Structure 1
């Protein structure tokens, strides 16, 4: 059963999913701390390169199936034009400023 993005528990994660699904690069970038980092399948990646390649230039889309850790951990079906659809996990670290300091994703 899919959780509608508007019903996600954490407001920052909710905004992240909305920005991905609406292809709002400016809104997405505003959610990230200036020194934000990320990893994919356990490997740190270049954030700017990864989000361009895996989200924005390839029309990424998240359908959340489950959330935990107060809404900061997701299990979702993620799809883009490059890889098709896959089951993924996402976890978010949100800083005191209310912006994402780090997110980690990978196949679930």
Structure 2
């Protein structure tokens, strides 16, 4: 049974997941540090391009299966219109309440 987003331990990660699931670009941008970076399957990607393609224009959605590392590592059933559903791992680095880096990849 998925973990409710409101029960995620880290407030920045909780806001990130909430923004993804609500398809709220403004809320998503608000939780990222201005110079945030990310990687997908070990390759660094452009945050704006990747999130537009993999989250917002393809209706991405995260169902949280497990959290570890104080809520900064998530095991997720992720789905979007492009790839369907897949099991993914998400790791977050947070400073001063903002996500400075996130890494995702197949789990």
TM-score range, shorter chain: over 0.9
Pairing 1:21-100 to 2, within 5 Å after superposition: 21-95=21-95, 97-100=96-99
Q: 2:19, 2:71 → 1: CA distance?
A: 16
**Aligned residue pairs: how many?**
107
Secondary structure at the aligned position of 1:12 is classed as: helix
Structure 1's consecutive aligned runs of 4 or more residues displaced over 4 angstroms after TM superposition are: none
Give unpaired runs (5+ residues) of structure 2: none
Following superposition, the deviation at residue 49 of structure 1 comes to 0.2
Q: Report the alpha carbon displacement of residue 55 of structure 1 after superposing the two structures with TM.
A: 0.2
The Cα shift of 1:107 comes to 0.3
**What is the SS of the residue equivalent to 1:13?**
helix
Q: Is the 8 A contact 2:11 2:97 kept in 1?
A: no
SS at match of 2:59: coil
Q: CA RMSD in A?
A: 0.5
Mark the runs of 5 or more structure 1 residues left unpaired by the alignment: none
- Match of 2:33, SS state, is strand
Deviations 1:16-67 (A, max 9, x none): 0000000000000011111100000000001100000000000000000000
Distance of 1:48 and 1:7 partners within structure 2: 27
* Separation of aligned partners in 2, 1:6 and 1:30: 18
**Distance in 1 between the 2:15 and 2:69 partners?**
17
TM-score normalised per structure 1: 0.98
